[in-house]
Amino acid sequence: MRARNLFSALAAVLCLSVGVAQAADKTFVYCSEGSPSTFNPQLATDGPTFNASSRMIYNRLVDFKQGGTEIIPSLAESWTVSKDGLEFTFKLRKDVSFQKTENFTPKRKFNADDVIWSFQRMKDPSHPFHKVNGGSYEYFSSMEMDKIIKDIVKIDAYTIKFVLSRPEAPFLANLGMDFASITSAEYGTQLLTEGTPEKLDTEPVGTGPFVFKRYVKDTMIRYEANREYFLGAPKLDKVVFAITKDPSVRFQKLKTGECHLIAEPSPTDLKAMMDNPKITVLQQDGLNVGYVAMNTEKKPFDNVLVRRAVHHALNRGSYIDAIYLGNAKVAVNPIPPSMWSWNSKTKDYKYDPKEAKDLLKKAGFPNGFETELWTLPVSRPYMPNGKKLGEMIQADLAKIGVKVKLVSYDWPTYLAKARKGEHSMIQLGWTGDNGDPDNFLNVLLGCAAIEAGSNVARWCDKDFAQLINRAKTITNIKKRTTFYKKAQMIFKQEAPWVTVAHSTVFRAMSSSVKGYKLSPFGTESFYEVDLK
């Protein structure tokens, strides 16, 4: 009965800190690394928000098999695609209930109206919720879904058809992504009547395995099992996200039994974790990239010679040793080597301060310049220690005469200001959401992604854009690969980013945790988790 003993210690702590007191329940505590920016994944692009919202509260039409990239049915039980690739027709699952909360009791089941309502919020400026809570749908816009989805047609209450304006090879996989979560039209209508539409994103209602109960900002989130979940009730009674930004503190909480599973363990703690018989460490190659983007709309980074000089100046091999403790590879391309279409022939920038100085001189900056670098305020798998990395970059650039001021903000502010392009240089990274190269090359580097906010280099290259747009209109993987490989060559020549690393992803958990699987997308799902 180890789990019960663990819970006793856990409950005592939570009674003091977050008010959890019911020792009879099977409560799972996840020590997360950051606060969600919202509880509606339509409005977000960050992992902490997806983990706290889409994977706990909501479902999508399709999903990915746990621990893999295989597309499986979810709210849609089947689908067909027209021969020309322009129509996707979905048969929806019947008898699915939205969650009952303190403020909402559903009077009908999920149906086609909820699908239309959810997507039209992002697509249609006249939708009553389009401008609620900022009205920024970064993922949806950066993937040009507003242009790709020509119409959404209700065939009957449980059949719906997406009509596309052009063939889109990754479309089905895109519908399994977090931003495509389905919200309740009935709940939205109630909130409008009550004059509180903003609660749709802060007091969420979905069809998912757990029901949102309470959020204390920067401290904790509480959920309870959805006993009416259409795939069957979860094995856990309750889940608590204990928001713990410091990775060393997360490790201490894991050792003392205050957490069952921790996000993003620090590389410096891994050996101690592996040596502890009460802790299980999981790992896999990450579908990710960590990078330093240069704002190509601002001087001097509008000059490609400057960007190449910065790339040559940074000793990325030393970062792999010092920041990742060897648990990463130097990134050559913007997509990881495990992804199809990765270009093995890309010529990378070698660490060469002399070449960097020569390039700066040619660019008209023989004595260097002054700039800012924003350092990542949270530990992410693709960048576990932004501050330390910033200090190393600062030292490297000083050697070629570039004086760097390090700047940072809290995570939501960091993302919000980055979307507006207020930075000069910025650390960021990405973990893939659907296993398709388009999810990196288009979402992070496409021209439409500038306005959407996810292209923080604010780089728009017509030749690059033409290649990635051509690639996603065809379904033949071999032909798509040809386009993506050419696009990676252009990216490297133009150097809007310094590609830093592809990291190994780790999770550490109590040995009492059963049924947990690492996701290649870096998101967390606790539906199949149990405590023994």
Let me know: does 498 contact 333? Beta carbons within 8 Å: no
pLDDT in tens, 450-481: 988 899 999 999 999 999 999 988 888 899 99
Count helices and strands in the chain by DSSP H and E runs: 19, 20
- pLDDT of residue 222 exceeding 70, the answer is yes
- pLDDT of residue 15 exceeding 80, the answer is no
The span from the CA of 342 to the CA of 347, in Å, is 13
Q: What pLDDT was estimated at residue 472?
A: 87
The span from the CA of 1 to the CA of 502, in Å, is 40
Q: Count Cβ atoms below 10 Å from residue 455 Cβ, excluding itself.
A: 24
Compute the average pLDDT of residues 423-445. Answer: 93
pLDDT in tens, 57-93: 999 999 998 888 889 999 999 999 999 999 999 999 9
- Name the pLDDT band for 25 (thresholds 50, 70, 90): confident
Distances (CA, A) of 29 to 15, 131, 422, 432, 529: 13, 35, 37, 26, 11
Q: What pLDDT was estimated at residue 11?
A: 45
Residues paired with 149 in a beta bridge: 164
Q: What pLDDT was estimated at residue 434?
A: 85
Token pair belonging to 73? 């049915």
- pLDDT of residue 13 exceeding 60, the answer is no
Q: Which of 3-17, 97-111, 126-140, 388-402 has the lowest mean pLDDT?
A: 3-17
Let me know: does 414 contact 427? Beta carbons within 8 Å: no
Contacts of the segment 349-353: beta carbons below 8 A, 24+ positions apart: 349/308, 349/311, 349/312, 349/492, 349/495, 349/498, 350/312, 351/312, 351/313, 351/314, 351/315, 351/316, 351/317, 352/312, 353/312, 353/313, 353/396, 353/399, 353/400
- pLDDT of residue 10 exceeding 80, the answer is no
Token pair belonging to 170? 């990754």
Q: For 332-419, list the strands marked E by DSSP.
A: 370-374, 403-407
Compute the average pLDDT of residues 156-182. Answer: 95
String of DSSP letters for 104-142: ---SS---HHHHHHHHHHHH-TTSTTTTGGG---HHHHH
pLDDT in tens, 237-287: 999 999 998 999 999 999 999 999 999 898 889 999 999 999 999 999 889
Helices (H), 178-303: 185-194, 199-202, 247-256, 270-275
Q: How far apart are the first and last CA of the chain?
A: 7
